Amino acid sequence: MVDLKKLQKEVMDNKIKKGFNTTDIALEFCRAHEELSEAFSKHNRGKDGVAEELADVAIFLLGMCEILGFDLEKEVTRKVEINKNRVYKKEKTPDGREVLIRVRTENDP
């Protein structure tokens, strides 16, 4: 099993060692978005390297969580449990497509 807290620290140590940004969180959001866009572009064109680009996204997320003091493993685990308990229903859009719409319940955070 992967220890995300340990990975967060490894990512931060590498950022410091290599001289990468560790203070401008807006830049980190932009760079994570850039990597996600690269993954989408490669996927959309049927090119190799999608998994590597997604790994880059994960690395940026781990670094951002370490900079901000968040425990990503704890947050992902918490959010997965929330999502398991959410209820959705299918609805048709005006153009006839089916979409899932979340049904709000009293247990929603």
**CATH number of 74's domain:** 1.10.287.1080
Which two tokens mark 24? 């401008």
Domain that holds residue 22: 4-103
The confidence band for 1, taking pLDDT boundaries of 50, 70 and 90, is confident
62 domain-assigned: yes
The confidence band for 106, taking pLDDT boundaries of 50, 70 and 90, is confident
96 domain-assigned: yes
pTM given for the model: 0.84
Q: What is the tally of structural domains in the chain? A: 1
In the block, which residue shows the tokens 């090119």? 47
Average pLDDT over residues 49-56: 98
89 domain-assigned: yes
9 domain-assigned: yes
- What does the alpha-carbon distance between residue 39 and residue 47 come to, in Å, rounded to a whole number? 9
The confidence band for 108, taking pLDDT boundaries of 50, 70 and 90, is low
Largest CA distance in the chain: 54
